[in-house]
Amino acid sequence: MKVRDLESQLKGDAALPMLPQVVVKVQKVVAADDSGAKDLANVILSDPSLTSKVLRVVNSAYYGVGKQKVTRVTQAIVVLGFEKVRNLALVLSSYKILRNLAGGKILKEYWLHSLATAVTAQSIAQTRQGKIAPEEAFVSGLLHDVGKLILAHYNPQEYQRVVDQVVEGKSYVDAEKEIFEIDHRDAGLALAEAWRFPPLIQSAIRYHHDLAKGSLRGDEFEIMAVVGVGNLIAKNLFGRNSERRAYPVERVVQYAGDLLGMNQVDLANIMSGRGKMVDEVAQNLGVSIGGM
């Protein structure tokens, strides 16, 4: 499979539509300098399903907005901010489309790992004091492996072969390249470009395995490091036995230190309580990871 062929498939795939117009409009409003909370609220209110989900998530314990319940979208925007609401709309709409792709077990495993990476990347970003906004790290972590779903969607039997090789100890990238000629980074980037994901998310998809990439600078380096280390922590905590063996704590500590200046105590604080947080976010977003 060539990337060009995949891009053509994505354009003609009725089962994988473009992102809903409401999300496109949300991104435009957020990007406009003269937009206010009312402008963004009007866009979200045009989609009743998105409206109810935004309010449900805002009122969850995960966001901790306080005792007073948020009942209006404008209030939610004031509480969370433009960027968080934009990312929330992107996550909820993407999941609505992606949840029907691939096989059931592959899909649950994907969301478990992605949620674990997202909440971990968010926690790392919170310790980085503004270099990457925590909400940007969260959504980038959630979607960093989206290419796995795309490859499994187009050829589930062949992707099961990938999973079988991973169980035996091979990395996803190596197994995917052997079977498909491309890997989930290529597939994910093709989807991200088709769906016009923000540049930061595209960089997370492209570089999250390139932890020795010396040429990256600025936000590209930061999102690679934050999501990349979050990815390793998720593998260590929730991965298959082969992944846990490949990424023991000592190796994760080394990468976290080299890329982010974190020590073992910092890492232990980040890793603490991940399971509970993953369960909570999964419940709030309506993501099924039961039995994993």
Task: Please give the mean pLDDT across all residues of the chain.
Answer: 83
In this predicted model, what pLDDT tens digit does every residue of 134-169 receive, in sequence order?
A: 888 998 999 999 999 888 888 888 888 998 898 888
Buried b / exposed e over 47-62, threshold 16 CB at 10 Å, is beebbebbbebbbeee
User: Packing angle between helix 134-143 and helix 104-127, nearest 10 degrees?
Assistant: 160
DSSP 107-147: HHHHHHHHHHHHHHHHHHHHHTTTSS-HHHHHHHHHHTTHH
Q: How far apart are CA 10 and CA 5, in angstroms?
A: 9
State the DSSP H helix or E strand holding residue 246, giving kind and residue range, or none if neither.
Answer: helix 241-246
Specify the pLDDT at position 63.
67
Q: What is the DSSP letter of 18?
A: P
User: Cα torsion at 241, 246, 252, 255 (round to 10°)?
Assistant: -160
Residue 292: band (very low, low, confident or very high) from pLDDT cuts 50, 70, 90 = very low
Q: Which residue has the tokens 């994760």?
A: 252
Specify the pLDDT at position 125.
92
| Number of neighbours of residue 177 by Cβ within 10 angstroms | 15
pTM, full prediction: 0.84
Averaged pLDDT, 36-46: 85
Question: Residue 65 is encoded by which pair of tokens?
Answer: 């907005």
Specify the pLDDT at position 291.
46
Residue 231: band (very low, low, confident or very high) from pLDDT cuts 50, 70, 90 = very high
Q: Which of 61-65, 228-232, 288-292 has the lowest mean pLDDT?
A: 288-292
In this predicted model, what pLDDT tens digit does every residue of 202-219 receive, in sequence order?
A: 999 999 999 877 778 899
Question: Residue 197 is encoded by which pair of tokens?
Answer: 């994901």
In this predicted model, what pLDDT tens digit does every residue of 15-40 receive, in sequence order?
A: 665 666 777 787 788 778 888 888 88
Averaged pLDDT, 105-132: 85
**Which range, 8-17, 36-45, 61-70, 247-256, has the best average confidence (pLDDT)?**
247-256
SS3 of 25, please? Answer: helix
Specify the pLDDT at position 84.
80
pLDDT at 175 over 70: yes
Specify the pLDDT at position 2.
67
